[in-house]
Amino acid sequence: MKRALLDALAARPGLSGVQVSYEMPQRALAGEAMWFGEDTETETGIPVMKAGTKHVDETYALPFVVQVLLTDGRDAEAADLRAAALLVEFQQALAENPRITPAIQWAELGGWSHHVGPIGDGSSRGSRFDVLVRVRARLSP
């Protein structure tokens, strides 16, 4: 599911030039970047309790980060506007294809928190959305 979502995001024209990666880049973090966060939580259920092989329904919250770092003198508003535009691209990718893979019943933006502030000496600005993607999947043997 994660790889399919990253591929869908990388193919979006509105995200051209944005660093889209599986985890936070440890080196060379771009000014505009997206990656999966940590600490996925899940709930699982077996629809029918009986002997034998079963389908398992799973719902989980997948963390994802959308971040903009401006080091060219632009202000906090510019960072916020660009981060919001990237968040809209992310949201549209899910809206246009909520199934992502055959095992996924749906994936949707479940919510976000927004973090802003100066970086370094105060001349640079950052804007970051920590997003939760709610996913419902049916796992089959």
pTM for the complete prediction? 0.86
Q: Which of 12-21, 32-41, 44-53, 108-117 has the lowest mean pLDDT?
A: 44-53
pLDDT digits (tens, 9 = 90+) for 81-96: 999 999 999 999 999 9
For tokens 């079963």, name the residue.
54
**Within 13 A of 70's CA, how many CA atoms are on the CB side?**
20
pLDDT digits (tens, 9 = 90+) for 56-112: 788 888 999 999 999 998 999 999 999 999 999 999 999 999 998 888 888 999 999
State mean pLDDT over 102-128: 89
